[in-house]
Structure 1
């Protein structure tokens, strides 16, 4: 095994992130791959020597990307991808993007990319077919309301206690209502996410609690005049997003360690604040 100060720093940072991220079996990342090489550009066996090929889906949705252009560095996942590339020694001009459908990316078999980033959930089922880096994002729950709702401009958890809130039954979203928001009236529960969204559209509830990616989906056009009131503190068993690699990829250790260093240096948190909290207007409820 080749070890250098850079290699050890990467591995240490990734280990810190794994320890901090392990919550439940659903959210736990895969075991840390062994870093068996110096994590620098000239030593990495990428698809194209000296280049880093990164995959995402089509279209590349906002706010994870901007204008369906992954290469512009805008949007949370584009920014994370370039930050990982920089950790590995790749300049922006060394990065090539390719489009791969999600179903194809998570399927077993060889890959045409070095790693993929497209809100890939680190489920046990997916881990049977592919490898993941340490998680770069733990999904939080969010409150969605109509612009005309009495709660649309509220900033604090306590200010939502008098709201009529709803969520899909038996989900982390429902748990967030009962554990964090504790409204004065019993939350409304629905069999499906679509049924819950209809309740919000019709005004039967003041706010709907869903995971953040769903909140962006709803406010991005599925519900007219819907806004994200804010993100809630972490609760329950958060879904984890990781960079996706081919099963047993020799790059897995270095890519995972790069994510770990970005986490320990506070870069991932800064990128979340920039692209999800501020630009995408999903403020934190305190």
Structure 2
């Protein structure tokens, strides 16, 4: 009798093991994808699969070829050195693009604004919204708001602007400002350049603005660039007392009708809400971060 009993117990134990093994195997199988979550991704117009870009699967930025410190600290934006470079990658990541899916093209701000260059998704180069002047361009919500100063190194030019000197009119002075900023409209409003006239030089930041201080009489400079000129280039930037240039807000520029516009604004809003945008701004507007060669 002992033999059959042992055999019977063995069969029971084997059955239990088989059952446990089967249940253990089932526990190791990955659960099926959440259909509701997949449906939400498909329905979200800002999910990466639904985004229309100039190069499928990639997000293409454009900026000027010459570095514009402190916004770009090298001539390779992919180095992520500088405020605008880092903001661009943060927005791309928020929209679902990995760093290796971000590409860069180089074009002047003038070519972007006039529609001479169109092979890009987003332009990042200190653009200030001027839809009346450039109706073919759309702008994102701002990623940076800052002040500007009118730098006038020469005492005589300063007296001219203050109306103290009667020998020369302001319209005879040479001005420099960014083409993508508000310099020209503001100078026109002041009557310091004639209607239909232009600037002696388009200059935004870095070495461009250093050169502008040599060949022009007055330069419209934003606050981060002023700090860079003083702390890195060791240039004293002056300001004309009683002259208050406009504050500016920097935005991404894109071709009017770009389907990414709402998604870029959403990405910026999410970065702002999380505090990441503020962290990027504080980090890359710290002059200590600009000393990359030290």
The equivalent residue for 2:255 is: 246
Query: 8 Å contact 1:41–1:89 — kept in the other structure?
Result: yes
Q: Which runs of 4+ in 1 moved over 6 A?
A: 191-194
1:23 counterpart residue number: none
1:266 partnered with 2:275: yes
Instruction: Give TM-score, length-normalised by structure 1.
Output: 0.56
Matches within 5 A, 1:56-205: 56-108=63-115, 111-141=118-148
Q: Which has the larger radius of gyration?
A: 2
2: CA distance between counterparts of 1:109 and 1:216? 33
* Mapping 1:229-244, distance limit 5 Å: 237-244=246-253
The structure carrying a bigger helix percent of its residues is: 2
Change (3 A) 1:140 1:244: same
Which residue of 2 is the match for residue 154 of structure 1?
none
Distance in 1 of aligned mates of 2:51 and 2:105: 19
- Structure 1 residues 67 and 211, CA, compared in 2 at 3 Å: closer, same or farther? closer
> Within 2, Cα distance between the matches of 1:106 and 1:269?
28
Structure 2 alignment gaps of length 5 or more = 1-35, 154-158, 164-191, 194-198, 201-208, 214-218, 239-243
Higher relative contact order (CA 8 A, sep 6+): 1
Judged with a 3 Å threshold, the aligned counterparts in structure 2 of structure 1 residues 238 and 169 are, in CA distance, closer, same or farther, namely farther
Note the residue ranges of structure 1 that are not aligned, 5 or more in a row. Answer: 9-35, 147-165, 171-190, 202-207, 230-234, 282-286
Aligned-residue Cα RMSD (Å) equals: 4.1
1:230-257 C-alpha deviation (Å, 9 max, x unpaired): xxxxx98521111111111111110111
Deviations 1:161-192 (A, max 9, x none): xxxxx9x769xxxxxxxxxxxxxxxxxxxx79
CA distance in 2, matches of 1:259, 1:252: 11
Report how far residue 70 of structure 1 moved: 0.5
- 1:55 Cα deviation after fit: 0.5
Q: How much has 1:59 moved relative to structure 2?
A: 0.5
| Count of aligned pairs between the two proteins | 193
